[in-house]
Amino acid sequence: MPLCARDDGLSEVVGFVLLLALIVVALSLYQVYGVPAAGREAEIAHMNQVKDRFVDYKIALDSLWLNNRNGVLLSTAFDLGTGAGATGGSAFALPILTPAGSGGTVSAKSEGANLTIAPEGKDPVTIPLGSLSYSSSNNYWVDQTWTYQGGAIFLSQEGGTTVRVGPSIAAAKTEDGNITLTVAPISLEGSAGIAGSGPVRVETRMRWSEPSSLSGTYDRVNLTVEADDPATARAWKRAFDEVRQRAIEENVEPSRLSTGQSGNTATLTVQPETKVFLTVYPANYTVSVYNAASLME
């Protein structure tokens, strides 16, 4: 065989090996940097969707008790995760080149935090708040837990728990110097939980509630939340701080409202120089969680 022919064959082999090596390097770089970036973007978008569902859920529940719609069924659906990484209809969708799908757990429970409303001179009333929560199982983004409890929405991450939407509690100053305190203690009753990455459906029904016997005029009113853990108590203390700040914006003297937290307990105390006009709107709901089919059969 002529020498030039052997050189041409060797050059083709070397060129093919170099091309193959270049492809492998490119795929490796994409797997190391591109796949996590795509997965992170998908999980961030999914967390934003969960946030929107919880905000919509609060608005819907508030509209039920505001309009006294007992027995009306409210249905909310959302995905627990980003799902599988494979994409249908694509000829080049390799599993190693697509982000791993995230998952999550949604649960409804009756136990947990309790709200005690204690007007001065009257027996206190304790209301179990219950909760609806979603906990993510992310692969590329920080895990989050969204919780709806007592009309408030809390976000928990590694750094702690923060208030995303405050509870239905408001204080304001009247023209004659008194303080109005309006409380809507929202209680959820349920015992269900589903984990996975597919869609779920949360069904909520408002039950009939007796009018509160606490509404009236008092010299002092104390609200206390007894939580499961100090982190939740701190979150409720922040929620009470927001209630206090809004009251100050409504011309209430800062010294007339105080908040505190000790262990698993958070408190809000309203003690004006004159009177507190307390109004309580109890709202009780039954919550159920179901799997939701993602495809029509």
Residue 181: phi, psi to the nearest 5? -125, 115
| Cα separation values, 158 from 126, 143, 144, 155, Å | 31, 8, 8, 10
Phi, psi angle pair for 235, to nearest 5°: -65, -40
Question: What phi-psi label fits residue 32: left (phi over 0), alpha (psi between -120 and 50 degrees) or beta?
Answer: alpha
What gap in Å lies between CA 238 and CA 161, rounded to an integer? 10
Q: Compute the chain's Rg from CA coordinates.
A: 28
Instruction: Find the angle CA(188)-CA(192)-CA(193) to the nearest 5 degrees.
Output: 120
In order of 44, 140, 276, 287, the CA distances from 39 in angstroms are 9, 6, 52, 32
Residue 101: predicted pLDDT:
84
In a 3-state reduction of DSSP, which class is residue 290?
strand
Tokens for 82, please give them.
């980003």
What gap in Å lies between CA 134 and CA 112, rounded to an integer? Answer: 15
pLDDT the model gives residue 23: 76
Beta bridge partners of 152: 149
Listed as ranges, residues in the chain with pLDDT below 50 are 3, 84-92, 295-297
The answer to whether 154 and 249 have CB atoms below 8 angstroms apart is no
Residue 82 has a pLDDT of 87
Q: Which distant-in-sequence residues (6+ apart) come within 8 Å of 268 by Cβ?
A: 169, 222, 223, 224, 240, 243, 244, 257, 258, 259
Instruction: Return the bridge partners of 155, or none.
Output: 146, 162
Phi, psi of 264 (to 5 degrees): -95, 15
Give me the amino acid identity at 205.
Answer: R
Of 291, 289, 250, 287, which Cα lies nearest the Cα of 272?
250
- What pLDDT score does 134 carry? 96
pTM score: 0.85
Q: How far apart are CA 207 and CA 214, in angstroms?
A: 19
Question: Quick one: which of 136, 171, 145, 149 has its CA closest to 58?
Answer: 149
pLDDT at 48: 94
Q: What are 283's two structure tokens?
A: 């709202």
pLDDT at 65: 87
